[in-house]
Structure 1
Amino acid sequence: MRKFHRWISVLFGVFLLWIAVTGTLSQIVPLLAGGEREKPKVEASAKPAFVCPPDYMCRPKPKPGDPRALIGLLHHLHSGESFGPVGVVFGTLSGFAMIFFSVSGLWLYIQMWRNRAERKLTPRWFWK
């Protein structure tokens, strides 16, 4: 199990770092953008082309330079869509690799814990 854990981590480490950074940025950018925006003013005589459904919050398209304009770009980078079908495949495989790392890492930890118990060493959560 350790061998697979190591080899897959070498192969997917860069992609998982990419996903982690772009995912984190996609969450931070809206926080840095500030509070709520003003609703666009519509004249009473003007009939809007699109009416926002009552349960939804519709927002106007962000202006250039607005940090919220980055959210769409970050989403496409995060999902791999910016790199075409190959990017989406690598993004999906990286997601499966993250699931594998979670399960195999927990499995390796349990094996090390049992090994220490069998050798009658003091069980600790973390050891040197």
Structure 2
Amino acid sequence: MRKWHRWLSVFFGVFLLWIAVTGVLSQVVPLLPVSAPAPAAETAKPAFVCPEDYTCRPKPQPGDPRALVGTLHHLHSGESFGPVGVAIATLSGFAMVFFSFSGLWLYIQMWRNRAARSASPRWFWN
């Protein structure tokens, strides 16, 4: 298990880092402060009027960092790189699940080995 954990982490580490960074950015970018929107022309009519019982968000203006969220989502999911990017993103998700379980399994094995050698087993090493 340790061998698989190490070799897969070498390959998928770069992709998981990419997914982590774009995921964090897609969550942080909407929190950035927004500059005051440019005044709209009085003669322009809105193309869509939000019903009163809905919560509608205004369309991001050019220069608004929230306009990047769609692009970040496409980078995060691999859609920007076509079917190969989506496949790699999906495999990276499966790899993350594998790393979680195999890392936990490796930790439990190390803990058991240490507990067998020690009189007082501990959860963490000193």
TM-score, normalised with respect to structure 2 = 0.83
Change (3 A) 1:47 1:63: closer
* Residue of structure 1 in register with 2:10 after alignment: 10
RMSD: 2.6
* Residue of structure 1 in register with 2:116 after alignment: 118
- How many Å separate the matches in 2 of 1:27 and 1:33? 13
* Residue of structure 2 in register with 1:19 after alignment: 19
- Give the percent of matched residue pairs that are identical in Structure 1 and Structure 2: 79
| Aligned AA (1:119) | R
Change (3 A) 1:55 1:20: farther
Q: Is the Cα contact below 8 Å between 2:115 and 2:122 reproduced in 1?
A: no
Change (3 A) 1:63 1:89: same
Change (3 A) 1:3 1:54: farther
Task: Give CA-to-partner distance per residue, 1:47-93, whole Å, 9 cap, x none.
Answer: 96545455542223211100100101110000000101110000000
* Residue of structure 2 in register with 1:88 after alignment: 86
| Aligned AA (2:12) | F
Runs of 4+ in 1 over 6 A off after TM superposition: none
Q: Is the Cα contact below 8 Å between 1:26 and 1:74 reproduced in 2?
A: yes
| Aligned AA (1:112) | M
Q: Is the Cα contact below 8 Å between 1:33 and 1:68 reproduced in 2?
A: no
How far apart are residue 117 of structure 1 and its match? 1.1
* Residue of structure 1 in register with 2:73 after alignment: 75
* Residue of structure 1 in register with 2:103 after alignment: 105
**Structure 2 gap segments, 5+ residues each:** none
- How many Å separate the matches in 2 of 1:23 and 1:117? 39
